[in-house]
Amino acid sequence: MEGLAAVALAIALVGVGFWTLIVRRNLIWKLLGLNVGASGAILFLVALAHRPGARPPIVGLGPGPSADPLPHALVLTAIVIDFATLALALVYVIFLTEHRHTQDVERLERDEERGWPQP
Amino acid sequence: MRVLTALSLLALAGLLALGVSGVFPRPELPSADEVAAEWGAENVVAAIILGVRLWDTLFEILVYAMTIVGVKLGLRLLRWERPLPPVAETPLLRRSADLLLGPVVVFALYVAVSGHLGPGGGFPAGAILGTALLLLALAKGVERLSAEIHEPALEWAEYGAIVAILALAGGLLLLGRRGSGYLVAANVLIALEVAIGAWVVLHRFASSRGEV
C-alpha cells in the first residue's frame, strides 16, 4: 500500500515537473521543472524497491525479506546525473542571459527568426 | 527530425515492453546477503555500488568530474568574474559556524568511514562536507574562504582522488581482491572528491553572479 502511494506521488511529481518543463517560458523554470521530474523518477525507483513488510537492505537488521537493493544503487546514479545536468544547464543559461539578455524561450526563438540583434 | 524523434521514442517504448514482457528469462541472482558477505560489507547497497556495479560508479565519478571541469571552464569563458566585496561579518553567524563546523566534519567522516556497515557512503559524506564548506562560506565570504583553504591545491587533491579511485578500483578489479578495507578507502576518496567538487561549483556560481 505504501508502495502504491509512493508510486502515485512519483507519477504526480513527474507530471508536475514535465508540465512546468513544457508550459513555462522561462529557462530557469524549465530547469526547475526538469529537476522536480527527476525527483519523481528517483522516488519511483525507491518505491520499486519496496516489498510488504521488508527491512532495509542491511545485513543483521532482523529476519524477514529485505528491500531490493538494486534500485537503491540506481538512485545514486540518478541523483548524480541529475546534479550534473542541472549544473551544466545553468552554466548555459548564464551564457544565454549574458549574451541575449533574456531567458524567455519565445523571445529567443523570435530573435533567431529575425536575426540576432547586435549587442 | 520529428519523425526521427517519434520513431526513436517508439523504439524505446518497444524495448521497454520487450524487457517487461518476460521474453527474456530473468537470470538467477545470488541473494543480497551473499553478495554483501562476499564483499565484506553489511550494507548491501554499498556492496552493489562499489562491488558488483563498480563500472557504473566509476563512470559516474567521471561524469561528476567532467561537470565540474565544464562549469569551471564555461564560466571562465565569460570573463566577467570580479572579486566580490567582502561580506560584513555578523557575530551570530560566525559563532554558529565555528560551533557547527567540527561536528559536521566529524559526522561526514563517520558517514564516509562506516558507509559499508550502515546507511551512508562516499556521496552523502561528500555532500555533508560540502554543506560544511557552504556554512563557512556564509560566515566568511566566498573569496576569503577560497583563499584560506588553498583552492588550487584542493583542486589538485580532487584530481588526485579521482585518479586514486580509478587506480584502486581498477587494480582490485583486475586482481580480484575484495574486502571491507577497499570499501572504506573508496568511500573516503569519493567523499573527498564530491566535497571538493561541490565547493568548486559553488565558488564558480557564487563568483559569477551575486553573492553568497
Residue B31 has pLDDT above 50, yes or no: yes
- Most confident region among A100-104, B156-160, B167-171 by mean pLDDT: B156-160
Domain count, chain B: 1
B4 domain-assigned: no
Residue type, A89: A
What confidence score (pLDDT) does residue B212 get? 43
Average pLDDT over residues B35-48: 83
CA–CA separation, A84 vs A64, rounded Å? 37
Average pLDDT, chain A: 86
B22 domain-assigned: no
pTM above 0.90, yes or no: no
Cα of B157 vs its chain's centroid, Å: 14
What confidence score (pLDDT) does residue A55 get? 81
CA–CA separation, B117 vs B179, rounded Å? 12
CB contact under 8 A, A98 and B78: yes
Residue A103 has pLDDT above 80, yes or no: yes
Nearest CA-CA distance, residue B174 and chain A, Å: 22
Nearest CA-CA distance, residue A115 and chain B, Å: 22
What confidence score (pLDDT) does residue B211 get? 46
A76 close to B (CB below 8 A)? yes
Cα of A4 vs its chain's centroid, Å: 20
B205 close to A (CB below 8 A)? yes
Residue in chain A nearest B36 by alpha carbon: A59
Which B residues 81-140 touch A at CB under 8 Å?
118-119, 121, 123
For A27-77, the pLDDT digits (tens) are: 999 999 999 999 999 998 888 888 777 788 888 777 777 788 888 888 988
ipTM value, please give it.
Answer: 0.82
What confidence score (pLDDT) does residue A86 get? 92
Residue of A37, A92, A55 whose CA lies nearest to B118: A55
Q: Is the sign of the CA dihedral B127, B130, B136, B139 positive or negative? A: negative
B12 domain-assigned: no
Q: Who among B42, B201, B209 is closest to A58 (CB)?
A: B42
CA–CA separation, B181 vs B188, rounded Å? 11
What confidence score (pLDDT) does residue A100 get? 81
Average pLDDT over residues A9-28: 92
The confidence band for B83, taking pLDDT boundaries of 50, 70 and 90, is: low
B2 domain-assigned: no
Percent of chain B with pLDDT over 90: 22
B117 domain-assigned: yes
Give the number of beta-carbon pairs within 8 Å between A and B: 77
Domain A2-114 has CATH 1.10.287.3510: yes
- As to burial, measured by CB atoms within 10 angstroms (0-12 exposed, 13-18 middle, 19+ buried), residue A86 is middle
Nearest CA-CA distance, residue A71 and chain B, Å: 9
What confidence score (pLDDT) does residue A1 get? 59
Task: Reduce the DSSP state of residue A52 to 3 states and report it.
Answer: coil
B184 domain-assigned: yes
CB contact under 8 A, B36 and A70: no
What confidence score (pLDDT) does residue B95 get? 87
The confidence band for B82, taking pLDDT boundaries of 50, 70 and 90, is: low
When scoring B26, B29, B44, B193 by the number of chain A Cβ atoms within 10 A, the one with the most, hence best to mutate, is: B44
B177 domain-assigned: yes
Average pLDDT, chain B: 84
Q: Who among B80, B118, B123 is closest to A58 (CB)?
A: B118
B6 domain-assigned: no
Q: A76-80, A102-106, B16-20 — which is least confidently predicted? A: B16-20
Task: Reduce the DSSP state of residue B47 to 3 states and report it.
Answer: helix
CB contact under 8 A, A73 and B37: no
List CB contacts (< 8 A) between A98 and chain B: 78, 80
The strand pairing partners of B43, in sequence order, are A58
For A21-39, the pLDDT digits (tens) are: 999 999 999 999 999 999 9
